[in-house]
Each structure stands twice: as C-alpha cells, then as structure tokens.
Amino acid sequence: MKQIINTESVKSVLASKGWDQKRLSKELNVSSQAVTNWLKGVDFPRPDKLLKLSLTLSLPFSDLVHTPNVELPVVAFRKRAGTKTTQDHIERAQLTGALLRPLVPYLYPLKSLRTKINTPSLKYFDLQNTVASVREKLGIKPCSVVSYNQLIKEFSNNDAVIVPVMWGNKSKHENALHILLKSEKITFVFLNLDTYIEDFKFWMAHELAHVFTPELAGTNEGEDYADAFAGALLFPRELAEQAYLKAITKPTSSSQIKVLQEYAHEYQISLHSVFLQVCGYAKAFNLTELKVDSKSIHATRCMSRGQLVSHLLFNPMPPEPKTYMDTSHKIFQSSFFDALKKIILEKGTGLGYLQQILDISIGDATTLHQELIGK
C-alpha cells in the first residue's frame, strides 16, 4: 500500500519557519525536484531521507506520512523502573516502525501457523492453565528449566524478529522495544543486551507474551499480562509449590530467602521472580505467607546481580560489527542483519537509516554500514 507525504503538514511547518521548498531541499541535501515529487505524491523519500525530513521539520511520523488503509505501528515498551512513557517515546518508536516496513520483504518467508492466546486472563488458575499449554507445546516438562533456545525458536516460529542491541545499562527509557506491524503481520523485538543475566530470560518471556497476544500490545493491560505470563511460564505452579513447601519449614526470613535463591539459580531467573510466584501460589491456595517481604528480597538481590548479557556474549567489549551480527544470526536466529545487507546493497540505503532503526551513534552506524557493504 502506497505511502505519501502529508503535504499540508509539511507546508504548514515550512510557512512557520519562513522556508520555501528550495530551502528545504538544501537542508535535506536533495534536489528541489525530489521535494516537489514528494509533495505531489509522485515519489516517496527513502528511509534515511524520511528520517531527516522528520527531524528537520520536527514532525512525528503520524503527522508527516499518510498511509491509506494502513495502521500505525503498535509499540510496547519494557520500561526501566521509575521511567514514564511519553508521547515523544511513542512517536519515535512509531517512526522506527514505519522505517522498518521497507525491510519486511527482505526477511525470511513468513510462517502460516502461529501461537495465539485467545483469552488472556490474570486469574491465577487461568494463567497457570495457559502457561501449562504453552510449555507443553514447547516440549517443556512442568518442572524443567525453560531454555533460551526454546524461547528464541518460538519468536522465530511466530514471525517475531529479534534485534539484539546494546543501549547501555541505564541510559534509556526502555530495556526492550516491541514493534508490531499489523498490516505486514510481523513483529520486531529489540532486546537490550546491556541487561543483567538474571533478568534477561524474564524480559524475553515478557516479549513473547506480547507476540502471543497482539491485540493487547501497546496497552497497560498488555504490560500487566506480559509480566504475569513471563513469571508463570518460567516458574509455574508446580515449581512454586515445591519452593513454598521447602521454604515454609525454615524458621527465619533469611533461611527462607536462601531457599528461594537456590531455585532462582537453578532456573536461571531472578530472586524476585521466584518470590512473586511463590507468593502467588500461597495466596491462591490460602496458605500461610512466608516470613520474607519484598524489601528484603530487593536488598538481597541488589547484593549480587551477576554479569550483563553483553559481557557474557562478547569479549572484548564492544564487539566488532561482524561478531555482533554473527551473534545476532547464530544465537538469536535473527534474519535482521541479512535483510539489512540486502536492502542496503539493492537500494543504496544510507547509514542514517541504521542510526535511526537501531538508535545508535553515527560512529557505530558508520562502522556497521561499512561491514554490511563489505568495506
């Protein structure tokens, strides 16, 4: 479906700036005829020029581009603690989604069969039944560890493209970004590798919940369900029961925490996740609460967070572009960089495109672009 520039919005901004089309073409480093063709709907800017046009005019994608009969990208953020999602965050993510659309034809062929949770529910027993069905589908026994490979394969089976990124440990609003392109029936999941290993599996399961419940993506209800699903999938009722029965016999808070720590280590998830699942189990069955409280769990957890995923994957840091892309392909089964290489070689897409869709510095975009074009 054809996208066209919203001429009225562009002309309105030009008027407010006192610019004409010639001035705009100079700012964008394109010909005046190119700008004329965009505004007439004869042509549409390439992704890097669309980005520059948006930034130059300070126009969000929703105001800059008109796409008849095509819905805006649906975005969902796995936010950092204490951060707030603003309209600017949403608009920037939607622009990223719009820029990803031209990449879709270069990805691997789409699948026809997908997993979908038709009646997502936060009720304890409904949720436990759902995760039991998902674990059975994935071939995971009730008390077995959910492996990274099993989660990664399920993303691929459901046309969700994992994009590993390194956004820093505390520098951004989100730890993960979920972009659903409804018309194209494909999802991009940006996972921040600068994440503590104890949290990473939970975030992956959280994002997988969004993939399974596309109608909830981008809503507060969707975030609540994804959190609940992730915890239950990784540490279901059977395990919560085991942990509870073992911990409740211990006389002190510290000895109960030690039991929960042992389970967290064995199942490769955070102490907090185990604690929440055990508490949920006790509440559902009206059992005596543990002596442990969330404050002591948080204090214990902060004493030892483990390594960042990026540091476990790459040595030295930061990785060379080839190592980074090879890891994306081999570890995360992602066709993202293969598709990027194809569109760059076929369309001559510039490094500004990489800078925008990956949210990286111009220096990192340059070295990555050079690797993709074989220089």
Residue type, 135: R
* Separation of alpha carbons 374 and 370, rounded Å: 6
Residues 235-267: pLDDT tens digits? Answer: 999 999 999 999 999 999 999 999 999 999 999
What mean pLDDT is predicted for residues 3-32?
Answer: 88
The more confidently predicted of residues 174 and 134 is 134
Residue 168 confidence (pLDDT): 87
Residue 105 confidence (pLDDT): 92
Residues 117-149: pLDDT tens digits? Answer: 999 999 999 999 999 999 999 999 999 999 999
Rg (CA), the chain: 23
Residue 134 confidence (pLDDT): 96
Residues 250-309: pLDDT tens digits? Answer: 999 999 999 999 999 999 999 999 999 999 999 999 999 999 999 999 999 888 788 999
Residue 67 confidence (pLDDT): 64
Residues 318-327: pLDDT tens digits? Answer: 999 999 999 9
Q: Estimate to the nearest angstrom the gap between the alpha carbon of 184 and the chain centroid.
A: 17
For residue 216, what pLDDT band results from cuts at 50, 70 and 90? very high
Global pTM value: 0.83
The more confidently predicted of residues 112 and 21 is 21
What mean pLDDT is predicted for residues 20-25?
Answer: 91
What mean pLDDT is predicted for residues 61-76?
Answer: 76
User: For the packed helices 7-17 and 21-28, what is the interaxial angle rounded to 10 degrees?
Assistant: 90
* Separation of alpha carbons 255 and 239, rounded Å: 18
Cα–Cα distance list, 270 to 225, 241, 259 (Å): 18, 17, 13
Kindly tell me if the per-residue pLDDT of 70 is higher than 80. Answer: no
* Separation of alpha carbons 19 and 33, rounded Å: 16
pLDDT above 90 covers a percentage of the chain that reads: 62
The more confidently predicted of residues 277 and 58 is 277
